[in-house]
Structure 1
Amino acid sequence: MPIDPADLPVQDRPEQLAARMGVELVKLGLDEVVGTMPVAGNRQPFGLLHGGANAVLAETLGSTLSALHALPDRFPVGLELACTHHRSATEGVVTGVARPIHVGRSTSTTEIVITDAEGRRTCTAKLTCLHRDTEPRPRG
């Protein structure tokens, strides 16, 4: 049985990468997770949104979608992430929309489409998560 979005683990801890990059979750649902991220502060040396920033936004949204389906009995961890960068973003905010492609007991695959402030597709990503039986714990 899917988890209620209100029961998700805290997403806005300041030490977490997504929080440091300004990722904000704006919609949580089993069919769609939407989030935004500012371009400012997430650029590469030539002034374009860093491709790794797209990857952070995509994995944050895709993992959140997987968590909504897998928790509380199983724990999603990223298994594979692929990003295709279609065009650059240089200012404003980008928006990512994650939608499930496959949700199973042991894996889920999500497509994440990232667009710029004008609604132009800047990146398409695909994330596959493994749903573990045990909660991942940091070593040490």
Structure 2
Amino acid sequence: MNLLELLGVKTLRATATEAIVEVAVTAKLKQPFGIVHGGVNTILAETAASLGANAGLDTTVQVAVGVNVETHHLYTVAQGTLRANAKPLHTGRRLQTWQVEVYEQGSQRLTSVSTVTLMITTRPQE
């Protein structure tokens, strides 16, 4: 089982111009004070950006991998569904930078914003 399966992250859309993922808030996503752990926002951000970046590549030859994530937490969440929407800011041949906004779906409140930089590299041989 991979991390996304473990947490219940679902991919709603993954194209070279937009990627959307979401996860239902459950006890396994919360820190000891009953709110979503900040790392979950970062997982959603890097996942959405990576899916979008890879959607524009021939992944049999190249893959986009995260090299930097900067996340700003804006609002705490204790229930509901988190949805991350990623859009590219720059799609170069070697680096891509994506902006990701995470919302709590019920209130439509912005809970975090992230900037994700990805490196385009040769796909490793298995």
- CA deviation string 1:32-60 (max 9, x = no partner): 11111121120111011110111111111
The alpha-carbon distance between structure 1 residues 90 and 68, as it changes in their structure 2 partners (threshold 3 A), is same
How far apart are the structure 2 equivalents of 1:65 and 1:110?
9
In structure 1, stretches of 5+ residues that fail to align are 1-14
Which structure's residues are more often strand, by fraction? 2
1:1-140 → structure 2 map (5 Å cutoff)? 15-40=1-26, 41-72=28-59, 73-117=61-105, 118-132=107-121, 134-136=122-124
The 3-state SS of whatever aligns with 1:54 is helix
In structure 2, stretches of 5+ residues that fail to align are none
Report how far residue 16 of structure 1 moved: 1.1
Q: What is the identity percentage for the equivalent residue pairs of Structure 1 and Structure 2?
A: 27
How far apart are the structure 2 equivalents of 1:46 and 1:137?
43
Runs of 4+ deviating beyond 2 Å: 70-73
The 3-state SS of whatever aligns with 1:100 is strand
How many correspondences in the alignment? 123
How far apart are the structure 2 equivalents of 1:129 and 1:68?
13
With structure 1 as the length reference, what TM-score do the two structures score?
A: 0.83
With structure 2 as the length reference, what TM-score do the two structures score?
A: 0.92
Aligned-pair Cα RMSD in Å? 1.3
